[in-house]
Structure 1
Amino acid sequence: MRPRFSRAVITIAIIVAVLAVGVSVGLYHLLKRTPRLAVQEEPFCVVKTPEGVLTLSPEQAQISATIAAVAARRRLPERAVVIAYGTALQESKLLNLDYGDRDSVGVFQQRPSQGWGTKKQLQDPVYATNKFFAALVKVKDYHKMPLADAAQAVQRSAGGYAYAPHEGDAKILAAAFTGRVPRAVDCWYPTDKTPAPKPRTAAARKQLARALGSTAITSKRRGWLVAAWSVAHAEKYAITRVGYNGATWLNDIEADGWQDGGTAGTRRVELS
């Protein structure tokens, strides 16, 4: 037998439910109006593409940008970048680790004892990425293989199946950092009240050249790759503004990604 409730009890229940919804909606709009700086003090990066959205630490974004730049220098297809990201996500979570299983180190957890290089070399993301791609391109038809199989052919891991679940995130990263999707990388880092350090743009371009080779902008896709690399490395080189192709990124937590406007054309990425 179903219990019966009085009209008064039902009325009270409805009122409580309405109040709960009202409070929730009010809090949502209040939080939207509250500056994000009040609750966000750690630097972060957001990658947005049609494939999805990811949040990264600056180190993860920098390594992602480096992998894409090395691939561009070697003229590798986007599939190679996806495989590299899937591997790095599993091996190190896209972090440049100084430890690992046995003597494994670095982004790809490569082992000095297996001939990959010295420990110091393998903790250089540019060197480690070049070694990974050099091994990958020797795998016949790697670009046609499932990600896990291609990664396993290079890494020879005890659990090669573990690379497969990272393919979705790897595709998001590849779309953004290769420059295929414009305006896809947005980062923010805190600044204190002391005079801001001067941007070290020359040092940034020199480091970019280590990974990319020539920094000349020969296509819009390459331009957006350089722009994404620059935003990812903004905190490291005290860069607060990046401009490219009529769009501008600012180190502003209140800004919603890249904004229209700016003097930069398609042949130059402006840093300041």
Structure 2
Amino acid sequence: MQRRFSRDVITIVVIVTVLAVAITAGVFVLINRFTTFTEATEGCRITTPDGSLDLEIEQAQIAAVIAGVAHRRKLPERAVVIAYATGIQESKLENISYGDRDSLGVFQQRPSQGWGTPEQLLDPVYATGKFFSALVKVKNYRKIPLHEAAQEVQRSADGSLYAQHEDNAKILAAAFTGRVPRAVHCWFSPEGDEKTPAPAPAPDEARRELARNLGSGTTLDVSSRKRGWLIATWSLAHAQKYGLRRVRYDGHAWNVTAGEEGGWQADAEASRERVQLS
């Protein structure tokens, strides 16, 4: 009798154990699926006549900063293309806090080589300014092959690698400089979640950072359509960071509630003289 009871108990224990493992595995799969789905609900898409690219929002923010610094310095689009190709190769256009030896940031600049302090090099505005300061000293940088110009600045182990990113860099430059209107669209959840709650709308903070990026005299009033789209694109790329819900300019508006398929929609009340943030 005791022996039969022990077998019954063992059988029950085995069944419970198998069920527990199965349930745990199922929950794990569901969590993975949910995580994947969540990660896919934000991003940016760049679309120009030369092609389309998908970026993470951080990459779009870096791209907007690079275009903004170039605009402030009155540099040609070729300089922006070279900077993008370099940034893609060095960091995938991410502001990373590590690298080969003491390399840091978007362009993997080294404090020990005189580029700046670690804190400065992790500021994309500063790092981009240092890159352009070196680039404009390169003789004929507008005309020589892209990888040669980039290598004169970076002095990397294999400068030929920059060339492979030229086509994508041209797509980004056309979009973020404002030359191609409505070329950048980003989407994300306005509600956020427990880990990343949505920030309160901060258009004033966005304006201050925009002024630091493009120059101390920057306002949302625009003197040309290209400049207007540069500002509108910068604002859209930073919308998640500053909690912006809507960007309006030039007869069109971007709204966070429209999601991935929304893009820029016609808005007859959107001004051609001023970028509107809310």
Secondary structure of the corresponding residue to residue 236 of structure 1: helix
| 2:240 paired with 1:235 | yes
Residue matched to 1:208:
210
Listed as ranges, the gaps of 5+ residues in structure 2 are 1-36
Secondary structure of the corresponding residue to residue 53 of structure 2: strand
Q: Cα distance 1:59–1:193, how it changes in 2: closer, same or farther (>3 A)?
A: closer
Rounded to whole Å, the distance in 2 between the matches of 1:140 and 1:87 is: 18
Does the aligned pair in 1 maintain the 2:249–2:271 contact within 8 Å? yes
Q: Cα distance 1:39–1:98, how it changes in 2: closer, same or farther (>3 A)?
A: closer
Residue matched to 2:172:
173
TM-score (norm 1): 0.83
Note the C-alpha offset of 1:250: 1.1
Secondary structure of the corresponding residue to residue 75 of structure 1: coil
Residue matched to 2:3:
none
Secondary structure of the corresponding residue to residue 187 of structure 1: strand
Note the C-alpha offset of 1:40: 6.5
Does the aligned pair in 2 maintain the 1:176–1:184 contact within 8 Å? yes
Note the C-alpha offset of 1:39: 7.6
Task: Show CA shifts across 1:90-120 (max 9, x none).
Answer: 0000000100000000000000000000011
Rounded to whole Å, the distance in 1 between the matches of 2:64 and 2:192 is: 29
| 2:256 paired with 1:256 | no
Q: Cα distance 1:254–1:129, how it changes in 2: closer, same or farther (>3 A)?
A: closer
TM-score (norm 2): 0.81
**Segments of 4+ moved more than 6 angstroms:** 193-196
Note the C-alpha offset of 1:42: 3.5
Q: Cα distance 1:152–1:205, how it changes in 2: closer, same or farther (>3 A)?
A: same
Q: Cα distance 1:98–1:249, how it changes in 2: closer, same or farther (>3 A)?
A: same
Q: 2:249 aligns with which of 231, 244, 252?
A: 244
Task: Show CA shifts across 1:218-242 (max 9, x none).
Answer: 1000000001001100100111110
Q: Which has the larger radius of gyration?
A: 2
Residue matched to 1:269:
275
Does the aligned pair in 2 maintain the 1:244–1:262 contact within 8 Å? no
Rounded to whole Å, the distance in 2 between the matches of 1:254 and 1:63 is: 20
Task: Show CA shifts across 1:9-66 (max 9, x none).
Answer: xxxxxxxxxxxxxxxxxxxxxxxxxxxxx78744100000011100000100000000
Rounded to whole Å, the distance in 2 between the matches of 1:99 and 1:196 is: 28
Residue matched to 1:10:
none
Residue matched to 1:95:
94
Note the C-alpha offset of 1:253: 1.5
| 2:80 paired with 1:81 | yes
Does the aligned pair in 1 maintain the 2:186–2:260 contact within 8 Å? no
Rounded to whole Å, the distance in 2 between the matches of 1:230 and 1:218 is: 17
Rounded to whole Å, the distance in 2 between the matches of 1:51 and 1:142 is: 23
Q: Calculate percent identity across the aligned residue pairs.
A: 62
Rounded to whole Å, the distance in 2 between the matches of 1:120 and 1:263 is: 42
Map 1:52-67 → 2, pairs under 5 A: 52-67=51-66
Rounded to whole Å, the distance in 1 between the matches of 2:214 and 2:251 is: 23
Secondary structure of the corresponding residue to residue 143 of structure 1: coil
Q: Which residue identity lines up with residue 69 of structure 2 in the other structure?
A: V
Rounded to whole Å, the distance in 2 between the matches of 1:164 and 1:139 is: 17
Rounded to whole Å, the distance in 2 between the matches of 1:78 and 1:256 is: 28
Does the aligned pair in 2 maintain the 1:243–1:262 contact within 8 Å? no
Q: Cα distance 1:116–1:199, how it changes in 2: closer, same or farther (>3 A)?
A: same
RMSD over equivalenced CA pairs, Å:
1.8
Listed as ranges, the gaps of 5+ residues in structure 1 are 1-37
Deviates more, 1:260-269 or 1:176-185: 260-269
Rounded to whole Å, the distance in 1 between the matches of 2:38 and 2:238 is: 23
